[in-house]
């Protein structure tokens, strides 16, 4: 947080860094971390099954994000093409934000 790295909070001028650092330090002093060997508790085979399922879920979420970004582009272009957003704003109708929450993208 306090480094000279280009995107560090200090270099970006984020306010209240001293307070944030103090809170993090207080949290670190709160309690010693405990390492839990889940594989030893549930068994290595069952833990391995869980990890494989977790990896699959993350891969599916990553693929879904790619598709969502493609759909966002297609839908936003369709809305602009149909001029739905500008005609709705002229009539006073309220529309939800364009997918992704960023107008004009």
CA–centroid distance for 102 within its chain: 15
**Percentage of the residues of the chain whose pLDDT score is greater than 90:** 67
Query: What tens digit of pLDDT does each residue of 22-73 get?
Result: 999 999 999 988 999 999 999 999 999 999 999 999 999 999 999 999 999 9
**64 in a structural domain:** yes
| Total count of domains within the chain | 1
- pLDDT confidence of 104, banded at 50, 70, 90? very low
Angstrom distance (rounded) from CA 10 to CA 71: 37
Q: Taking the model in full, what pTM does it have?
A: 0.52
**8 in a structural domain:** no
Give the three-state DSSP class for 21. helix
pLDDT at 105 (0 to 100): 41
Which residues are CB-contacts of 17 (< 8 A; sequence separation ≥ 6)? 1, 2, 9, 10
**6 in a structural domain:** no
Give the three-state DSSP class for 41. helix
């Amino acid at each position: 947080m306090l480094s000279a790295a280009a995107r560090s909070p200090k270099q970006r001028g984020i306010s209240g860094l001293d307070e944030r650092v103090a809170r993090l330090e207080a949290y670190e002093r709160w309690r010693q971390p405990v390492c839990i060997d889940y594989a030893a508790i549930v068994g290595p085979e069952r833990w391995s099954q869980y990890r494989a399922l977790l990896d699959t879920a993350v891969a599916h979420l990553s693929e879904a994000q790619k598709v969502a970004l493609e759909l966002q582009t297609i839908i936003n272009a369709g809305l602009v093409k149909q001029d739905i957003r500008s005609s709705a704003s002229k009539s006073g109708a309220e529309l939800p934000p364009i997918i992704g929450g960023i107008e004009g993208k």
